[in-house]
Amino acid sequence: MYDLIFICKELKSKVSERRYNHCINVGCMAKKLAKIYSVDEKKAYIAGILHDIAKEMSYEDQLKVLEDVSTYPPEFSRRNYRVFHGWVGSVYAKKYLKITDEDVLNAIRYHTTGRKNMSVLEKIIYNADCISIERRFEGIEYFRRAAQLDLNIVIIDKLSKAIKESVRKQRRILINTFEAYNDLIDSQII
Ligand SMILES: [Fe+2]
Ligand SMILES: [Fe+2]
């Protein structure tokens, strides 16, 4: 189904060693969370290792992957192209790595912005990216434990920080981020 050796080789050719190690760590964390939440572990691993495959691409290379850029979000521009490495990565995975599973592709696509109605796999990849083994920040152990009990805690924390940062810098709030945040907050209301 998936040619893991081919996928890892492709990833290695697209990112630095540091990023490659991060991707593998996210894959491992995603697999661990997939087991807890009864999601296909192999799918989670593949989505995890591929989530940042486009992270180090130049804007020009991203455009080449996307081809007709008019069909992509209006925010896609040179100014903030780094936000779109998830989007570009999912297109790359489908086109060049023959990944056809929509849930895997969406998990790659929305790992930076989130979106409303995220699937369990999408939430797993979002979490795994934030709490993978090499990450260091204050409170990370709390978030690692929280992710095993509720996949929304890490996402709400990260999205609220992203929104605050956008407001502080007077930047546009991405619509998917805004909708993901509201969706998760609404789901907490009993
Ligand atoms: Fe990323
Ligand atoms: Fe990442």
Distance 23 CA to ligand 2 centre (A): 6
What is the reported pTM? 0.95
- Residue pLDDT, tens place only, 97-109: 999 999 999 999 9
Distance 117 CA to ligand 2 centre (A): 21
pLDDT at 1 over 80: no
Distance 47 CA to ligand 1 centre (A): 12
Going along the chain from its start, the domains and CATH numbers come out as 4-188 (1.10.3210.10)
In the chain, at which residue ranges do the beta strands (DSSP E only) sit? Answer: none
| Nearest ligand atom owner, CA of 112 | 1
Question: Residue length, the chain?
Answer: 190
Contacts of 140 (CB under 8 A, 6+ apart): 131
pLDDT at 190 over 80: no
Distance 163 CA to ligand 2 centre (A): 18
Predicted pLDDT at 127: 98
| Nearest ligand atom owner, CA of 55 | 1
- Residue pLDDT, tens place only, 31-87: 999 999 999 999 999 999 999 999 999 999 999 999 888 888 877 888 888 889 999
Distance 190 CA to ligand 1 centre (A): 32
d(CA 124, CA 112): 13
Distance 190 CA to ligand 2 centre (A): 32
Contacts of 101 (CB under 8 A, 6+ apart): 43
